Amino acid sequence: MNTFGHLLRVTTFGESHGPAIGCVLDGCPPGIAIAPEDFVHDLARRATGTSRHTSQRHEADEVEILSGVYEGVTTGTPIALLIRNTDQRSKDYSKIAAQFRPGHADYTYWQKYGIRDPRGGGRSSARETTMRVAAAVIAKKWLADRHGVRVYGWLSQLGEIAPQGFDASVIEANPFFWPHAAQVDALETYMDALRKSGDSVGARVTVVADGVPPGWGEPVYGKLDGDLAAAMMSINAVKGVEIGDGFASVAQKGSVHRDVMTPDGFLSNHAGGILGGISSGQQVVVSVAFKPTSSLRLPVDGLDADGNVVDIVTTGRHDPCVGIRATPICEAMLALVLMDQALRHRAQCSDVGDVSPRIPGSITTDAKR
């Protein structure tokens, strides 16, 4: 199950320290202009080592297009993308191959498969997400060109720190994807202290899509929110997914939560742009919880394959907050799910003509942000 999507299907492969990682994007419409340089921007946004707050692994992340593109345009056949792993530090893995770090997938892979690739986390490494970001470059392009849909996101919580303001224009101007410029210095200080302590912290990422037309998504098990939940939860370190108000809905009254429709648009967006599994034309809003990474310089007890307690100290290159560079990954999953649903929608419902009334989605600025 290294494939997701029903019509737009992404298959990824590769281990953290294997020769390469790659993906196959199948079901993509023909006629989309794509060049290797199109991948540079988003891959750089998720890359490690671009600030002192992320892992210092330096990967070139150069994308080779192996198939599916002819003279710069997609042909409708599967698009294979390949990235060679270049910054693999050779070391002796024989000792750690049969040691299980707490909070990692070491033990569960071992129990499932009876074997595991210990090099940098193998398949369970966040390096796999590189290919999601690459595949989504094509999805973002199609969504924008064909439907005017724009996907973007930001860090909506870092540890206990929440944004004290929201300005979309500053998100890309700081290494945290933080939407409030005045807090960036404090975040730097916080992260420096955290890194020094050897500990890590969790984060929340929020991603949105503007311009999604009403009608994307399917009842009952192909719901847009259901697909988004699966897509986000498939990202490493994710422990929770919310649509719209999410868990805040628990304490809400129905008279507050229900978003009133007027001919001029919705008066609020507690639903996060999805009703009954189908987009409403409002902004689609998804929030994602990232756990703190378990790779710490602080020593801890682990187990080995003989059942003995072993001392675990992580000396490698790791992010003290994996959520910091997760924004492009969450964007990628949102874009891929939306494009898949858009294709599914036109497959089933192209016979349906224009449907009135189509009311404008109100893009609200609510507390959530």
- Residue 115 lies near its own copies (rule: CB under 8 A): yes
Which segment (24-32, 47-55, 172-180, 324-332) binds its own copies by CB under 8 A?
24-32
* 3-state SS assignment for residue 302: strand
Interface residue with its own copies among 35, 44, 64, 360 (CB under 8 A) is 64
- Residue 80 lies near its own copies (rule: CB under 8 A): yes
Q: How far is the CB of 304 from its own copies (least distance, A)?
A: 8
Question: Torsion-angle region of residue 121: left (phi > 0), alpha (psi -120 to 50) or beta?
Answer: left
DSSP H or E segment with residue 290: strand 284-290
- Residue 349 lies near its own copies (rule: CB under 8 A): yes
CB atoms within 10 A of CB 204: 19
- Residue 263 lies near its own copies (rule: CB under 8 A): yes
Nearer to its own copies, 76 or 165 (CB): 76
Classify the C-alpha dihedral 299-303-304-308 as positive or negative. positive
Binding positions = 46, 52, 123-125, 236-237, 276, 291-295, 317
Classify the C-alpha dihedral 65-67-73-77 as positive or negative. negative
- Residue 46 lies near its own copies (rule: CB under 8 A): no
Interface residue with its own copies among 211, 300, 362, 363 (CB under 8 A) is 300
- Residue 219 lies near its own copies (rule: CB under 8 A): yes
Interface residue with its own copies among 37, 90, 114, 311 (CB under 8 A) is 114
Among 137, 183, 131, 138, which residue's Cα sits nearest to residue 157? 183
Residues 224-243, one symbol each (x = binds its own copies by CB under 8 A, - = not), give -xxxxxxxxxx-x-xxxxxx
Q: How far is the CB of 86 from its own copies (least distance, A)?
A: 14
- Residue 251 lies near its own copies (rule: CB under 8 A): yes
- Residue 291 lies near its own copies (rule: CB under 8 A): yes
Nearer to its own copies, 173 or 314 (CB): 314
Interface residue with its own copies among 90, 92, 309, 365 (CB under 8 A) is 309
Instruction: Check if the beta carbon of residue 217 is closer than 8 Å to that of residue 225.
Output: yes
Q: How far apart are CA 84 and CA 17, in angstroms?
A: 10
Q: How far is the CB of 72 from its own copies (least distance, A)?
A: 11
Q: How far is the CB of 291 from its own copies (least distance, A)?
A: 4
Q: How far apart are CA 119 and CA 115, in angstroms?
A: 12
Instruction: Check if the beta carbon of residue 333 is closer than 8 Å to that of residue 56.
Output: no
- Residue 86 lies near its own copies (rule: CB under 8 A): no
Nearer to its own copies, 29 or 211 (CB): 29
Instruction: Check if the beta carbon of residue 269 is closer than 8 Å to that of residue 283.
Output: yes
CB atoms within 10 A of CB 130: 30
Binding positions for NADP(+) = 46, 52
CB atoms within 10 A of CB 127: 24
Interface residue with its own copies among 153, 163, 179, 217 (CB under 8 A) is 217
Nearer to its own copies, 191 or 289 (CB): 289
- Residue 157 lies near its own copies (rule: CB under 8 A): yes
Question: How is 67-127 classified by DSSP, letter by letter?
Answer: SSEETTEE-SS-EEEEEE---PPP---TTGGGEE-TTSSHHHHHHHHS----GGGGGGSGG
Q: Which amino acid is at 303?
A: L
Interface residue with its own copies among 122, 153, 179, 328 (CB under 8 A) is 122
Q: Which two tokens stand for residue 248?
A: 């805040």
- Residue 245 lies near its own copies (rule: CB under 8 A): yes
- Residue 50 lies near its own copies (rule: CB under 8 A): no
Interface residue with its own copies among 44, 189, 247, 360 (CB under 8 A) is 247
**Angle in degrees, 0-180, between the axes of helices 129-147 and 327-349, rounded to the nearest 10:** 50
